[in-house]
Amino acid sequence: MKEKSEIFNIRYVKYISDITAKRLNVLMPLSVLILTLLILSDIYIRHSYAAVLTRIFPLFLSIYLYIYNKVNPKPKVGKTVLYNILLASIPAMMFAKYLVHYGTGTSYTNIIGIIVAVFIISLEVRADLLNTILIYALPPFIFAVVLFMFFPVNQKEVQPLINIILILFVGFFVNRVQNNFRYKAFISNYLLQSEKLKLEESNDKLNLYKRKLEAMVEKKTLSLRYALEKAKESDALKTQFLQNISHELRTPMNAVIGFSDIVSKKNSSFKKEYKIIEQSLNRLLKTIENIILLSKLQSGKTGLELSKFYAAKLNKDLLDIIKFQIEESSKPLTVEFKDNTGGDFYFYSDEEKIKQIFNQIFDNAVKYTEKGKIEILINKKNDNEVEYIISDSGIGIPSEELPFIFDVFRKSDKRNKFYEGTGIGLSIAKFITKLLGGQIFVKSSENNGTTVKLILKISNVK
């Protein structure tokens, strides 16, 4: 704030210098004219050559300022200082003239001149507080010292000067109030105008940059369009490649699984080994299918097949899925299923994709839970949404890894045991949930299990 105030003060001084330089062209010739007329009046009407001497300094300073400003019209702080000295010399001139005519009975005229001088400097002084005090206080102080040291004190002559002191205080107060308003107006308006001028001055540069940018954009548009077409072509080829790979791998692996089952039935002594082969191949197939599904989701090539289906049926299928996964894992896990909705609502959505979401969530829950239980809780949030809360008693997720759990191929590297998987399950669940207009949240801490909250849209029309 202090630095900002200093910047304002520097700009305000420059602003005052600009105004002073412009006003000198008009005020200095006027000042020279008035002072010249007063000198002629002193010589030919009042016959007072001593009074002429009081006009010499402001006259020559006015002439100098006019010539200086003409030769060097640029605003300068020095011009403002000289102008303030000239303003201070005006009441000094009137006080000196008062001393020249002291005791001649013309004090009334001289006092009027002093009041006019105070009025002029009150309007014109644009100095800081210290210099303003000097301008107002120095001439009357010198006048008072000279008066009381070298002139006989005449109460009738001096009494009006006391009122002059009051006028000086009023003039000083008016000048400071005026300068304060001028400073505030400068802060609120001048800076805006200054910035506007800068913007106008930089408009040509901006137009030049604009033309250059337009030329660059026009040049780049063709290359970007070509790159976009190549990217689309590459994306289509990638999807097609993954589908072909899936087909080419699935066909022989299904054959291997089938023949392994036949061989295991004929040779029961290797039944355990054949079971491992079958599980490994199934896991590989599942990984390939997940990668293909993720690729389709990322490229936006997965559409929705909407249909009406009841929640009760979906919940039964979900329970069968989790039980089957637990059975396949051969882990000592139990399932607690609690439906607080009664299943008296239905979805108008893509049933298969909802099952894919739960399949990924259940897979993680079973994979990372060695023993204990998996809880499934269903609550109806409102007429438009239902929430599924899936909690496990597994190893949990470190707090520093929670912000990244939906990242593709992200797996924890701080677990003391290797867990199978590619780290795309939650990414797939997030993609599909967003596609269905739902929300998914994960809450977990290390060694304290994981809770997944899934909010899905439901139909409110029976």
**Segments making up each domain of the chain, as ranges:** 2-153, 304-457
Question: Would you give the end-to-end CA distance of the chain in angstroms?
Answer: 64
Q: What is the pLDDT of residue 262?
A: 72
Of the given ranges (44-58, 114-128, 238-252, 427-441), which has the lowest mean pLDDT?
A: 238-252
In the predicted model, what is the mean pLDDT of residues 99-117? 73
CA dihedral sign, ordered 129, 130, 135, 136: positive
pLDDT band of residue 198 (cuts 50, 70, 90) is confident
Question: Higher confidence at residue 188 or residue 353?
Answer: 353
Q: Which of 371, 388, 397, 387 is nearest to 450 (CA)?
A: 397
Q: What pLDDT does 418 receive?
A: 47
> Ramachandran region of residue 11, left (φ > 0), alpha (ψ -120 to 50) or beta?
alpha
pLDDT beyond 80 at 155? no
Rounded Cα gap, residues 429 and 178, in angstroms: 70
Cβ pair 93, 143 in contact under 8 A: no
Nearest CA to 377 out of 321, 335, 427, 320 is that of 335
Quick one: pLDDT at residue 388? 92
**CATH number belonging to domain 304-457:** 3.30.565.10
As a whole number of angstroms, the longest Cα–Cα distance in the chain is 147
Residues 241-284 have pLDDT tens digits of: 666 666 666 677 666 667 666 766 666 666 666 767 766 767 77
What are the angstrom distances between the C-alpha of 435 and each of 298, 305, 338, 349, 430? Answer: 11, 12, 27, 11, 9
Q: What is the mean pLDDT of residues 316-342?
A: 87
Mean local confidence (pLDDT), 434-459: 88
How does residue 176 score in pLDDT terms, banded at 50, 70 and 90?
Answer: confident
| pTM beyond 0.85 | no
Residue 14, burial from CB neighbour count under 10 angstroms (0-12, 13-18, 19+): middle
pLDDT greater at residue 399 or residue 269: 399
